[in-house]
Chain A
């Protein structure tokens, strides 16, 4: 209970800071949409569907998430936020939990822009009929990306070459989630809009839960110096 209250306090502070500076979300959106344009030309097809379309949504999202993850503790770094936090009696894991929640919210906000852009720029079949399935898969993917991101950003705290370490650690760790999201979205985005194979959202959910459990056991050790 106390942990949740502190997590909420940190999350509120982070959202306030992001609202005030408003720099991360626009940068992530620009990178993601730019990547979609690149993919459009590298696929070199009039309209894409199925597996290619799933990749066209997931890859820009991954790039944007990488940007978000490497900036996850930027605000804390600028103003010695970890020290501020460690001078209080708050449980150390709470700051990591707040970062995970904040990143998941930022990714969700990003998708509000990204999914329509994807429907306009890349996708051949209409997006509307399959929107609920796409949203469901994306929410699960957000949770996984955010958990991986929180853990990796936590590990990279206090490293000298964060911008090198974070992406090379995030990419392999997210591959199972990306495979599952790709497999889930590919039939949904196919021309006939095949039904969702429930196995894959389940895999995503299980991965997110396992990571969150591991994180809740080991995460607190990352915020100690």
Chain B
């Protein structure tokens, strides 16, 4: 597997580096019999941001699912927030905020009902729901069913859901897609880097995501890795070129 070896990709002995939020070694994942990720080595420190780039179907969402503990790797080792996946998946649960393609909300329930349900699952006080609704400026829509909302409002609700438990790791799958500029600014502020918050940001916007990133992973077709390493080692133009 040819990919640039970098300082970021030092595999093995996660115990030696307790501050690493994500350590992947030789990671393998497949859809059916088709490998989507292969021999992926990745390392991300706590509090850092990883920009995850790649054309459609190159495995960005698959990687996010693996990091969230929702999928099991088919090979290799993966350690997230100190938990070996999939064996210690139970210890990871509740510590990851995931803004996925799907909003992960019940469309027949209102925003407030959805968030109240998640608050109960996380055993958070009901006041936390009001805080998050306030934060995402959803106050006047809180009693509307999610299924009746516009794409932008759904996305804001999904971000509010992901932030509910103030997770240590935030996984963001194109969080700003389909948003108008105002909504986009609002969501961007909600998910902005913060001390102690590790982020993985999948997007199709090299310029915007590279500006925020400490590390970059560019996935190519057929389970290849085009680039993995520090953000300083790649320009938006290079990243753009890797799409072709």
A-to-B contact residues, CB < 8 Å: 2, 5-6, 9-10, 13, 16-17, 20-21, 75, 78-81, 83-90, 92, 224-225
A-B contact pairs, 29 of them (CB 8 A): A2-B123, A5-B120, A6-B121, A9-B120, A9-B121, A13-B106, A13-B109, A17-B108, A78-B107, A79-B102, A79-B103, A79-B105, A80-B102, A83-B98, A84-B121, A87-B68, A87-B94, A87-B98, A87-B104, A88-B94, A88-B118, A88-B122, A88-B165, A89-B94, A89-B121, A89-B122, A89-B123, A90-B122, A225-B71
The DSSP consensus for interface residues of chain A is helix
Report A-chain residues with C-beta under 8 Å of the C-beta of B243.
Answer: none
A-B contact count (CB 8 A): 77
Bound CA–CA A92/B93 (angstroms)? 10
Bound CA–CA A178/B102 (angstroms)? 41
B89 contacts partner chain A, Cβ-Cβ < 8 Å? yes
Report B-chain residues with C-beta under 8 Å of the C-beta of A78.
Answer: 107
| Chain A nearest CB, measured from B99 CB (Å) | 11
The answer to whether B122 touches A13, judged by C-beta atoms less than 8 angstroms apart, is no
The DSSP consensus for interface residues of chain B is loop
The answer to whether A81 touches B94, judged by C-beta atoms less than 8 angstroms apart, is no
Report A-chain residues with C-beta under 8 Å of the C-beta of B109.
Answer: 13, 16-17, 20
Q: Binary interface profile of B, 84-118, with partner A (CB < 8 Å = 1, else 0)? A: 00000110011111101011111111000100011
| Chain B nearest CB, measured from A184 CB (Å) | 39
B72 contacts partner chain A, Cβ-Cβ < 8 Å? yes
**Given B94, B105, B123, which contacts A5 in the complex, CB threshold below 8 Å?**
B123
| Chain A nearest CB, measured from B200 CB (Å) | 14
The answer to whether B72 touches A225, judged by C-beta atoms less than 8 angstroms apart, is yes
Q: Binary interface profile of B, 215-231, with partner A (CB < 8 Å = 1, else 0)? A: 00000000000000000
The answer to whether A86 touches B108, judged by C-beta atoms less than 8 angstroms apart, is no
The answer to whether B106 touches A81, judged by C-beta atoms less than 8 angstroms apart, is yes
Bound CA–CA A6/B94 (angstroms)? 14
Report B-chain residues with C-beta under 8 Å of the C-beta of A16.
Answer: 109, 113
Please give 14 more A-B residue pairs, beta carbons under 8 A apart, in addition to A16-B109, A79-B105, A81-B106. Answer: A6-B120, A16-B113, A78-B107, A79-B104, A80-B100, A84-B104, A86-B70, A87-B68, A87-B93, A87-B94, A89-B122, A89-B123, A224-B89, A225-B72
Bound CA–CA A96/B71 (angstroms)? 20
| Chain A nearest CB, measured from B113 CB (Å) | 7
Report B-chain residues with C-beta under 8 Å of the C-beta of A92.
Answer: 90
Size of interface on B: residues with Cβ below 8 Å to A: 30
Closest 8 CB pairs of A and B: A89-B94, A88-B121, A9-B120, A90-B121, A84-B104, A79-B106, A13-B117, A89-B93
The answer to whether A79 touches B107, judged by C-beta atoms less than 8 angstroms apart, is yes
The answer to whether B120 touches A20, judged by C-beta atoms less than 8 angstroms apart, is no
The answer to whether B70 touches A87, judged by C-beta atoms less than 8 angstroms apart, is yes
| Chain A nearest CB, measured from B139 CB (Å) | 21
| Chain A nearest CB, measured from B238 CB (Å) | 34
Closest to B94 in A: A89
B69 contacts partner chain A, Cβ-Cβ < 8 Å? yes
| Chain B nearest CB, measured from A94 CB (Å) | 9
Report B-chain residues with C-beta under 8 Å of the C-beta of A10.
Answer: 121
Bound CA–CA A224/B72 (angstroms)? 10
**Given A5, A9, A20, A21, which contacts B117 in the complex, CB threshold below 8 Å?**
A9
Bound CA–CA A80/B99 (angstroms)? 13
Report B-chain residues with C-beta under 8 Å of the C-beta of A85.
Answer: 121
Bound CA–CA A80/B61 (angstroms)? 15
| Chain B nearest CB, measured from A39 CB (Å) | 35
Report A-chain residues with C-beta under 8 Å of the C-beta of B69.
Answer: 86
The answer to whether A75 touches B106, judged by C-beta atoms less than 8 angstroms apart, is yes
Bound CA–CA A90/B95 (angstroms)? 12
**Given A13, A81, A83, A89, which contacts B70 in the complex, CB threshold below 8 Å?**
A83
| Chain A nearest CB, measured from B65 CB (Å) | 9
Bound CA–CA A16/B100 (angstroms)? 25
Report A-chain residues with C-beta under 8 Å of the C-beta of B96.
Answer: 87
| Chain B nearest CB, measured from A28 CB (Å) | 19
Report A-chain residues with C-beta under 8 Å of the C-beta of B70.
Answer: 83, 86-87, 225
| Chain A nearest CB, measured from B214 CB (Å) | 24
Closest to B103 in A: A79
